[in-house]
Chain A
Amino acid sequence: MTKPSAERRVLIVDDEEPARRLLVEYLRAHPRWSVIGQAKNGLEALQLAQQQKPDLLLLDVQMPKLDGFEVLGLIAPELAVIFTTAFDEYAVRAFEVHAVDYLLKPFSAERLSQALARAETRLAEGELRSVAAPALAQAARGPESHLQRLVIRDGAEILIIPAASIDYVRGQDDYVEVFHDARSSLTQQTLQHLEASLDPSQFVRVHRSYLLNVSRVARIEPWGQGSKLAVLKDGRTVPVSRSGEARLRALLGI
């Protein structure tokens, strides 16, 4: 084990006051780990993480605004994460996003000590989270359900976009541009992955670069050689390829 050198900075993220106070109490026995902040929801966690640059996140999963996985999806990867939750069903997903440990509430002071030792090893060896965005999004979504909302950082702003508010999505290399609520936002994702995550009865791949919310379609018009154009209810248009048209018609039942 490496000799402890510098102080390690901990950010506690939990929406329950007793849970935060418990962590603070347990951490008193570990003077090297100093609590640099406490967040009571996902957005606060994001802000504090940006300002305070913690080494370790003690992260609850179910929280108001953003949940633990959504927070991780938006945070710079150079930190260690220990999940603390009463739900054991997130464990697999937690390790998919390279969490250091997964503590099931209620846990003992000894159990936290073990987790801290593990975190120390990871930090010392520099083996921190480096997870591709799709895996994170997958983890945020959970195994069976479809993605119900997208969380996107747009400059300083964090957007929570319900799936139903998405009009269409345009893929551009490693990015997708999400058109929603009369604006558009960029996020680092692939169109394939987003297509796989969203509800297939609502979103259809109408073109190599376009994913379309079928409820927005007003009509389909011919457009050039063999291809078509989907006209949306607000007048915007989305190109539709030949195979895309078949998929769209199948979904619309026309």
Chain B
Amino acid sequence: MHPLLAPRRPLPAYLLFWAGLSVVPCVLLDSATPLAGLALMLVSTVGFAFATLPTWYLCRALPLRPGRTFRVLSIHGAAAAVWSLLFVATTKLLAEALGLLSEWHRLPHELSRSEGALFGVGALFYLLVATFHYVLAELELRHAALERESALAGSAQRAELQALRAQVHPHFLFNSLNTVSALIGYDPAKAREACVLLAEYLRGTLRAQDQALVPLREEWSLCERYLKVEGLRLGERLRVDLELDEAAAACLVPSLLLQPLVENAMTHAIAPLDEPRPLRVRAQRRGGRLSLELENGVDPAPRAREGGVGLANVRARLFAQYGSDATLRIEKDPERFLVLLDLPAGSPDTEAAP
């Protein structure tokens, strides 16, 4: 389809431009009745502009490539001659018609004086049309390339999100398997429970990887399973205090948003401490916002710098999903480490999440 005829494209503006150009043949004609001359040229020029719109297809079929100059020039030259003849002929016909009016009867005569010049104008008009269409074709090409690029960027971003999500730490698996192996010796029932929890957790993370957004309730129960498995390993040292309000549970959140934060707390603040402070996780919905809080104790003499991979990961995913509409804030003092998330409270029915 011709780009000017597509919806919301500026065909009227294009024709208005040509209406302006009709002054040129009008001046050439130099009619004794200027109003008649103007009417004549206005109709024929705008008509010409409209009729030459199919030049678009010719221009697309004849792209400007080095080495094809002669071919392009000769074809457009021929087209210019044909279109110009048509232009002169239709203008003549129109002049005859308008000349039927008694006060404009001199129009046909005036026109026959400037036929040659009019032919030149027609040819120039055609070249202008062709140039315009080449520019248009180039713009279309660029636009398409840009669209392709952004589509590619979109799929790259999806792949990146996928990679960010796919992260069940092998250490967690190995440690859990060791716990199961030990429990088989002295508490087979618990060993079985551990297997079921572990399977449920793994299945949950696999399912979560296919979905961009999940209800917080699902993410929450995934974390609970994770914490239960870790609880078998760490016993008394893991104390958890979870608080999920009903309104928050239904909100949509990026899948595996909370889990890396819980895992982070586990690695940096629960496992390295002998007398742990409880891990506190709280979710609340306030109007259109969802707020998540994780609080844990701090290792007074950390062996390694905080990795922060989990945090950076969550931050990147929040940004990819919500742009600047979501924040991750960290509050830290010698006693505690607090992660505060604030994001739009999208729910499945309102689809408030973008």
Contact = CB atoms under 8 A, between A and B. Distances in A.
Contact of B274 (A16, A65, A145, A149): A65
15 contacts: A16-B178, A17-B235, A18-B178, A21-B182, A22-B178, A25-B182, A63-B272, A86-B175, A86-B178, A104-B174, A105-B174, A106-B174, A148-B304, A149-B303, A161-B301
Nearest to A147: B303
Contacts of A62: 271-272
Interface string A7-31: 0000000011111011001000000
Nearest to A63: B272
Contact of B181 (A17, A106, A160): A106
- Give the size range of B's interface with the partner: 20 to 34
A-side interface size class: 20 to 34
B334 to A, nearest CB: 11
A22 B175 CA distance: 13
B233 A18 contact: yes
Interface of A: 15-19, 21-22, 25, 40-41, 62-65, 67, 70, 86-87, 104-106, 142, 145, 148-149, 160-162
B178 A64 contact: no
Contacts of A63: 272
Given A16-B175, A65-B274, 4 more contacts: A17-B235, A18-B178, A105-B174, A149-B303
A219 to B, nearest CB: 29
A105 B326 CA distance: 40
B191 to A, nearest CB: 9
Closest 3 CB pairs between A and B?
Answer: A22-B182, A18-B182, A86-B174
B234 interface: yes
A31 B235 CA distance: 29
Contacts of A67: 303
Contact of B301 (A40, A106, A142, A162): A162
Nearest to B170: A86
B19 to A, nearest CB: 69
A40 B274 CA distance: 9
A141 to B, nearest CB: 9
Nearest to B271: A62
A17 B186 CA distance: 12
Given A18-B178, A19-B178, A19-B182, A64 B272 contact: yes
Contacts of B178: 16, 18-19, 22, 86, 105-106
Given A86-B178, A104-B174, A105-B178, A149 B185 contact: no
